[in-house]
C-alpha cells in the first residue's frame, strides 16, 4: 500500500492547528477570568531549557508549512517570529492554515521520490519523503503541539484530553 503524502500532510496539520487555536482560546479565557497578563502564559515554559508557549506555537506553524512546502517541492513560506500576543498567534495560525489550503493532491504527485535535506545547527539531515514526513515532520509537529497543551494545562488552564484530540 502506498502512502499518500497529500492525505497525511496538509489535512493532519490543519486539524492540529485548529486544535491549537482552540487551546489558545481557552488560555485567553483563563487569563481574563484570573485577570492575568498575557505574558503569564505566553512566556511560560515547562522547564528552563525549553521554549515558552509563544515559541511552541511558532514552531507548530513552521513545521507544518515547511513540511508541506518541502514535500511538494515548493519554497518554504517565510513568517517572521514577531508575535507578542494571543491575537497575533491566532493570526499566524490562520495564515498557516490558509497556506496549507493552497496545496492540492497534484502538488504531491511526485513527492515519494523526493529527497528532503534539512540544515540543522551543526549538520544536515537527509530523508526520503516518507521518512521525513513520518519520522520527523509529524512527530516534531505533535511534540510542539503537545508541549503547548502541557504548558497551558500546567499553568492551570482547564484543558483535557478531549480538547487535545479535538472533534472526532
DSSP line for 43-65: T--SSTTS--HHHHHHHHHHHHH
CA angle 78, 39, 22 (to 5 degrees): 65
Which pLDDT score is estimated for 14?
97
- Name the pLDDT band for 8 (thresholds 50, 70, 90): confident
pTM across the whole model: 0.94
Closest CA to 16 of 149, 154, 151: 149
Whether the pLDDT of residue 1 is over 80: the answer is no
List the domains of the chain with CATH numbers: 5-158 (1.20.120.450)
| Residue 123 confidence (pLDDT) above 80 | yes
> If you ran DSSP here, which 8-state letter would residue 124 be given?
E
Asked if residue 30 lies in contact with residue 41, where contact means CB atoms within 8 angstroms, the answer is yes
Residue 2 has pLDDT above 50, yes or no: yes
Average pLDDT, the chain: 94
Amino acid at each position: 500500500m502506498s502512502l499518500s503524502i497529500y492525505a497525511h500532510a496538509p489535512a493532519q496539520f490543519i486539524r492540529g492547528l485548529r486544535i491549537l487555536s482552540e487551546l489558545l482560546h481557552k488560555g485567553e479565557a483563563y487569563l481574563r477570568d484570573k485577570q492575568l497578563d498575557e505574558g503569564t502564559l505566553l512566556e511560560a515554559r515547562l522547564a528552563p531549557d525549553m521554549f515558552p508557549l509563544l515559541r511552541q506555537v511558532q514552531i507548530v506553524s513552521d513545521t507544518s508549512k515547511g513540511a508541506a512546502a518541502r514535500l511538494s517541492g515548493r519554497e518554504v513560506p517565510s513568517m517572521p517570529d514577531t508575535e507578542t500576543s494571543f491575537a497575533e498567534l491566532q493570526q499566524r495560525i490562520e495564515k498557516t492554515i490558509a497556506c496549507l489550503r493552497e496545496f492540492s493532491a497534484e502538488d504531491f504527485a511526485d513527492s515519494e521520490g523526493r529527497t528532503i535535506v534539512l540544515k540543522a545547527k551543526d549538520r544536515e539531515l537527509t530523508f526520503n519523503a516518507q521518512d521525513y514526513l513520518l519520522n520527523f515532520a509529524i512527530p516534531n509537529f505533535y511534540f510542539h503541539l503537545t508541549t503547548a497543551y502541557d504548558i497551558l494545562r500546567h499553568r492551570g488552564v482547564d484543558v483535557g484530553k478531549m480538547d487535545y484530540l479535538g472533534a472526532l
